[in-house]
C-alpha cells in the first residue's frame, strides 16, 4: 500500500486515478490535433509533388528546359512524406501488423500484444534515431548538391519522422492503458 495523506492507495488505485479524467482527455485531444496537423503537412507535400512533377514534365518535354534541382526537391519531399507518414500510420493504427493471432485471442491477450507491438515499433524508431544522429554527425556537413546546402537539412527527416513515431507510440500506449483506445479492431484491416 502507498499512503497519500491519510488515505491508503494501492498501485491499482493510483494507476486508475492517473488514467482518468482531464489528463487522458488532454492527451487524446493532443493526439487528434497532432494527427490532423501531420496529415495537413502530408497534403501540402503531396500538393508540392503534383506541382513540381507537372512543371518538370511540361518544361522538359514541352519546352526542352529543366530547372536545376527540381528532381532533387521531389525526392527529398518524398523522404519527408515517408517519415511523417509513418507517425500518422501509428496514430491511426494503420501500421503493419499480422492480426490473425491477436484477433483470435482473449481481450487481455489482445491488449498485451497490442502494447508489446507498439513498444517494439517505438524501440525500433529509437534505434533509428540513435543511428541517424551518428550518421548525421559524420556526413551532415557535406554539401547537398545541387544547392550546396548542408546535408543535415535532408538527413533530419529520419530523426524527425522517427521521433514523431516514438511520440505516437508512447501516446497510443498511454491511451490504451487508460482505456481510450478501442481494442475491438486493434489494427485497421486491409480492404
Give the domain extent around 130.
2-177
Per-block mean pLDDT, blocks of 10 residues, the chain (191 long): 48 57 88 94 90 90 85 84 89 76 80 90 94 86 82 88 94 90 68 50
The helix/strand/coil state of 7 is strand
Cα-Cα-Cα-Cα torsion 42, 48, 53, 54, nearest 10 degrees, comes to 120
Q: Confirm whether 185 is domain-assigned.
A: no
User: Does a structural domain hold residue 187?
Assistant: no
CB 73 within 8 A of CB 116: no
Q: Burial level of 27, CB count in 10 A (0-12/13-18/19+)?
A: middle
Q: According to the model, what pLDDT value does residue 94 have?
A: 79
Does residue 122 lie in a domain region? Answer: yes
Q: What is the pTM of this model?
A: 0.79
Closest CA to 117 of 184, 24, 48, 187: 187
Strands 143-144 and 2-4: unpaired
Residue 16: per-residue pLDDT: 56
89 in any annotated domain = yes
The predicted structure's pLDDT at residue 3? 46
Residue 103 maps to a domain: yes
Q: How many domains does the chain have?
A: 1
Q: In whole angstroms, give the CA distance from residue 179 to residue 137.
A: 41
Flag whether 115 is in a domain. Answer: yes
Is residue 191 situated within a structural domain?
no
Amino acid at each position: 500500500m502507498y499512503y497519500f495523506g491519510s488515505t491508503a492507495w494501492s498501485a491499482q488505485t493510483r494507476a486508475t486515478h492517473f488514467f482518468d479524467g482531464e489528463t487522458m482527455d488532454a492527451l487524446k485531444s493532443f493526439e487528434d490535433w497532432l494527427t490532423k496537423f501531420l496529415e495537413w503537412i502530408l497534403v501540402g507535400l503531396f500538393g508540392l509533388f503534383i506541382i513540381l512533377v507537372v512543371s518538370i514534365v511540361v518544361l522538359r518535354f514541352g519546352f526542352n528546359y529543366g530547372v536545376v534541382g527540381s528532381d532533387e526537391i521531389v525526392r527529398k519531399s518524398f523522404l519527408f512524406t515517408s517519415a511523417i507518414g509513418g507517425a500518422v500510420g501509428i496514430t491511426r493504427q494503420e501500421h503493419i501488423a499480422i492480426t490473425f493471432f491477436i484477433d483470435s485471442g482473449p481481450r487481455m491477450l489482445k491488449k498485451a500484444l497490442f502494447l508489446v507491438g507498439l513498444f517494439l515499433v517505438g524501440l525500433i524508431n529509437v534505434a533509428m534515431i540513435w543511428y541517424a544522429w551518428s550518421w548525421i554527425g559524420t556526413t551532415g556537413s557535406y554539401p547537398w548538391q545541387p544547392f550546396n546546402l548542408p546535408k543535415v537539412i535532408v538527413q533530419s527527416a529520419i530523426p524527425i519522422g522517427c521521433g514523431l513515431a516514438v511520440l505516437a507510440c508512447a501516446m497510443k500506449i498511454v491511451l490504451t492503458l487508460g482505456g481510450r483506445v478501442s481494442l475491438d479492431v486493434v489494427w485497421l484491416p486491409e480492404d
